[in-house]
Amino acid sequence: MSVKGQHLQDPFLNTLRKERVQVAIYLVNGIKLQGQVESFDQYVVLLKNTITQMVYKHAISTIVPARAVNIPYDDAAE
């Protein structure tokens, strides 16, 4: 993944994690997972519901928050 991609992805996931926003994660095979982002790194997202699931980022198509979130964006990072 490009460095610029990380500048968008990390603040988004971190905001979801910090604010404990419920999310729906759609995988490339169409499966829908729901829960809260517990943690993430370069390759995986830990999704917590009744259990914690490790979801590989390459398998994720879309992440949909249950509510609107404000993502901090640093123009200097471009």
Q: pLDDT of 19-53, one tens digit each?
A: 999 999 999 999 999 999 999 999 999 999 999 99
**Cβ 15 vs Cβ 69: under 8 Å:** yes
Query: pLDDT value at position 47?
Result: 99
Tell me which of 3.30.720.110, 2.30.30.100, 1.20.120.420, 3.40.190.100 is the CATH number of domain 3-65: 2.30.30.100
Amino acid at site 50: T
Q: State the chain's mean pLDDT as an integer.
A: 91
- What's the pTM? 0.85
- What is the spatial distance between Cα 47 and Cα 33, in angstroms, rounded to a whole number? 8
What are the boundaries of each domain within the chain? 3-65
Query: pLDDT value at position 75?
Result: 56
Residue 7 pLDDT grade (very low, low, confident, very high; cuts 50, 70, 90): confident
Select the more confidently predicted residue: 1 or 40.
Answer: 40
Within the chain, where are the H helices?
A: 3-18
